[in-house]
Structure formats: C-alpha cells, structure tokens
Amino acid sequence: MNADLEHLIVLQRLDSAAQDAKRRLAEEPDREHAFDAQLTASRDIVAAAKARLAESQSVRREHEKTVTLHQGRLSKFREQAMAVKTNQEYHAIQKEIEFAQTEMKAAEDQVLERMLEADDLTAAIKRAEAELASEQKKVEAGRKAMAAESAEFKATLERVAAERSNVVRSLTPQVLSMFELVSNRRNGIAVAEARDGICTICHVRLRPQVFNTVRRNEEIIQCDSCNRILYFVPTAAPVPAPDAAQPAQVTAAAVIAYIDGGARGNPGPAGFGVRIEQPDGTLVEEFSEAIGHATNNVAEYRGLLAALDWAKARGYRELHVRSDSLLLVQQMRGNYKVKNAGLQPLHAKARLLAHEIGHVTFEHVGRSFNAHADRLANAAMDQAK
Ligand SMILES: [Zn+2]
C-alpha cells in the first residue's frame, strides 16, 4: 500500500475519533440541563403535594373554629332556656339551639372529612418524596457516568493529538494539504473507502478505471464527486463453514486467537480478552483490556483488533480467529453487512489489518470453546467503569 495513503487512513481515523469525542463533550451542558429538569420536575411534585396538605389543614382549622363558635352559642342558649318565663320564649330558644346544633354537626363532618383527606395527602407526599429520592440517585449516577466519560473523551483528545502529530510528520506535505483542504470542506471526513465501485461516503459510483486504480491502493485518488481520498479494503475469501461441534483444524504455521468482548448492561462497562494459542493448544499469550463504556459488539471488535494488532506486530502471516460472536464472524467473512455506524470504522480497520497480515480466517465457536477469552473479558469488564 502507498505509504501516504496508509497514513491518511490513520489520520482520518484519528480525526474522526477526535470529532466524536468533541461532539460528546459538547453535548454535556444539554445532558446537565436534562438532569436538572428531571430533579426540578420531581421536586415540583413534592411541593405541590405539600401545598395540597397545607390547604386542607387550613380549611380544617376554619371548620374547627366554627365548631367552637357553635359550642359557645349552645351553652349560652341552654343557660337562657333555664331562665325563660313564657312558652313562647322557650320555643324561640329551642329553635336557636336546634339551628346551632345543625350548624355544629355540619362543621364537625367537615373536620372529619379533612382528617381523612390529610391521611391520603400525607401518603401522597411520602410517595413523591420517595420518587424524588430515587430520581436523585439516578441523576447522581448519571452525573458520575458523565464525568467518567468526560475524562475518557479528554484523554482520547490528548492521545489523538499526540498520535496525529506523528502521522502528520510522516506525510508528504502536498498530500497533507490535500487532506486538510478536503477535510475542511467535507465536514472533517477527507478519506473514504471505495467498495463495490462506490464511494462509501457520497455514494456516487466511480468510473471503472478509477475504481480499478483505487483497488490497488498504490496512488492517491480522489472521488470525482466529493473529492475525498479513496482507499480499498479487499474482502477476505469466504471460509467454508466448519463443523459446528468441533473447532476446525489449523495449519501449523498459524496461531489461533480466541477473542471475546462484552459490556455489562450493553452499553455499559466493557472489556475484551484475547488468548493466543499454538495449533496444539499451547498457550502463547493472554491479554485483556478494559475499554470504558461501550456496547457488546464494539467490545467484540476491540478484542479482534487487539488480536490482529498482536499478530501483525509479531510478523505472523497467518492467523485463525475463533469467536463466539456470530455477528462478528459473519461480518468479517463478508456474509453480513455492517449496518451499525459505530461498528463500521472498527470493521474497516479489522479488514485492513487482516489484509496486511495476509491470511486471516474466522471461525464461530460455541461459548464453551471460548471459556478462556470469556474469563479474560470478564476480568476486563470488572475493571471498566
Ligand atoms: Zn465521494
């Protein structure tokens, strides 16, 4: 592969990672507002419930005053009734007593009703307060996760900046200015994969002779339509389906990479594990890594990339990958499309690395055949936050 082109692919990968990290960091104020709004809504419900209780209690006190008032009038009337001289006076007092009694009874009923209402309202306050406490816990956890992500994104930006200056140094200056020009005009994406005769970013079909040149990856070729610099990732030859019950035989020259990745909660704290073995089962090396917050599929691909990097760095020309992820295996064999935008760059990088190694085969194995990598991945997930 053309050295500039190879560096451009890396440069684009770094820029895209930085862009993604910056975008996520820029979203933080909005996420913070959403947390505040969540808490405000719960606090408002508590306040409204408390206001309803206070209102009910104040109404009850008014009725209690009415009861006291009529009690006073009744005892006055009863005293007067003892002193009356005429039948007419007696009947008039009796009428006053009856009226006061009716009024007092109505006020007492109101007091009783408010007491029952207060029980319901107190229970409603308790429920609203419990809801608020649980919201506070959720928001606290959300803020914690956001702070951890934030630190991760900032670390990514720092790492990318350091790696980027190395890559930039090794590029031919004209090629670098071409990259920067296209990147500025095209939303930060200056490098595109050409696949099936099409620029995968602008989706315009390339002229056949252009695509044929791109396929060789020996020259810097731009898309006629969007001007992006094109590269080609050869598809690995499909592997015949192995006997599902028994892992396939592997030639002696190859090493076998058992890979596994996972995320608790999907997405959640994620990690991967890789175990490299000789074809006879002798352990060569084991390693694992916590990768922070990610999905299961991203973790599986990160495991694959680590295995491919490992093999490439040690000059292996042949690698057999065993994974219990059917999706990853079928995508790497070219049988399944990679629809998820988050997986596409990982998949493209894996195909490129596999091509650089030379002969990489993929095999889907049952989880029981992948126990070591599973153990390593789980240990990595324990460390991920
Ligand atoms: Zn294009």
Higher pLDDT, residue 233 or 275: 275
Q: In the structure, what pLDDT confidence band is assigned to residue 337 with cuts at 50, 70 and 90?
A: confident
Neighbours of 115 (CB within 10 A): 12
The pLDDT of 354-363, averaged and rounded, is: 90
Residue-level pLDDT at 310: 94
Q: What is the pTM of this model?
A: 0.53
- pLDDT of 7 higher than 80: yes
Q: In the structure, what pLDDT confidence band is assigned to residue 292 with cuts at 50, 70 and 90?
A: very high
Residue-level pLDDT at 247: 54
Give the separation between CA 26 and CA 31, rounded to whole angstroms. 10
Same fold? 26-153, 255-383: no
The pLDDT of 2-13, averaged and rounded, is: 93
Counting every residue, how long is the chain?
Answer: 385
- pLDDT of 249 higher than 60: no
- Structure confidence by residue, pLDDT tens digits, 50-71: 999 999 999 999 999 999 999 9
Residue-level pLDDT at 238: 53
Q: 3-class SS at 79?
A: helix
Give the separation between CA 53 and CA 128, rounded to whole angstroms. 13
The pLDDT of 79-105, averaged and rounded, is: 93
Give the separation between CA 248 and CA 155, rounded to whole angstroms. 41
- Ligand 1 centroid, distance to 297 Cα (angstroms): 28
- Ligand 1 centroid, distance to 242 Cα (angstroms): 38
- pLDDT of 16 higher than 50: yes
Q: What are the DSSP calls for 312-340, one per residue? A: HHTT-SEEEEEES-HHHHHHHTTSS----
- pLDDT of 244 higher than 50: no
- Ligand 1 centroid, distance to 7 Cα (angstroms): 19
Give the separation between CA 298 and CA 20, rounded to whole angstroms. 15
Burial zone of 75 (CB within 10 Å; 0-12 exposed, 13-18 middle, 19+ buried): exposed
For the ranges 82-86, 150-154, 279-283, 344-348, which has the lowest average pLDDT? 279-283
Q: Cβ(221)–Cβ(178) under 8 Å?
A: no
- pLDDT of 246 higher than 60: no
The pLDDT of 124-142, averaged and rounded, is: 96
For the ranges 55-69, 203-217, 300-314, 355-369, which has the lowest average pLDDT? 355-369
Mean pLDDT for the chain overall: 91
Domain spanning 255-383 has what CATH number? 3.30.420.10
- Ligand 1 centroid, distance to 208 Cα (angstroms): 14
Domain ranges (residues) in the chain: 3-17+169-231, 26-153, 255-383
Q: Cβ(339)–Cβ(330) under 8 Å?
A: no
- Ligand 1 centroid, distance to 188 Cα (angstroms): 13
Helix 3-26 to helix 173-185 angle, to the nearest 10 degrees?
Answer: 40
**Protein residues within 5 Å, CB atom, of ion ligand 1:** 199, 202, 223, 225-226
Percent of the residues in the chain that have a pLDDT greater than 70, as a whole number: 95
- Ligand 1 centroid, distance to 333 Cα (angstroms): 25
- Ligand 1 centroid, distance to 230 Cα (angstroms): 8
Find out whether the peptide bond into 267 is cis, omega within 30 degrees of 0. yes
Residue-level pLDDT at 371: 86
Q: Cβ(285)–Cβ(257) under 8 Å?
A: no
Residue-level pLDDT at 253: 64
The pLDDT of 112-118, averaged and rounded, is: 96
Higher pLDDT, residue 335 or 136: 136
Looking at domain 26-153, its CATH class is mainly alpha
- Ligand 1 centroid, distance to 169 Cα (angstroms): 26
- Ligand 1 centroid, distance to 226 Cα (angstroms): 4
- Ligand 1 centroid, distance to 302 Cα (angstroms): 28
Residue-level pLDDT at 352: 87
- pLDDT of 384 higher than 90: no
Give the separation between CA 367 and CA 373, rounded to whole angstroms. 10
Inter-CA distances, 119 with 2, 111, 122, 324, 376, Å: 79, 13, 5, 58, 56
The pLDDT of 77-102, averaged and rounded, is: 93
Higher pLDDT, residue 344 or 121: 121
Give the CA angle between residues 210, 214, 220 to the nearest 5°: 100
- Ligand 1 centroid, distance to 202 Cα (angstroms): 4
Percent of the residues in the chain that have a pLDDT greater than 90, as a whole number: 77
- Ligand 1 centroid, distance to 229 Cα (angstroms): 8
Give the E-state strand segments of the chain in sequence order: 191-195, 198-199, 221-222, 229-231, 255-263, 268-277, 283-294, 318-323, 359-364
Residue in the structure block whose two tokens are 């090629």: 175
Residue-level pLDDT at 339: 85
Q: In the structure, what pLDDT confidence band is assigned to residue 364 with cuts at 50, 70 and 90?
A: confident
Residue in the structure block whose two tokens are 């408390």: 50
Backbone angles phi, psi at 343, to 5 degrees: -85, -25
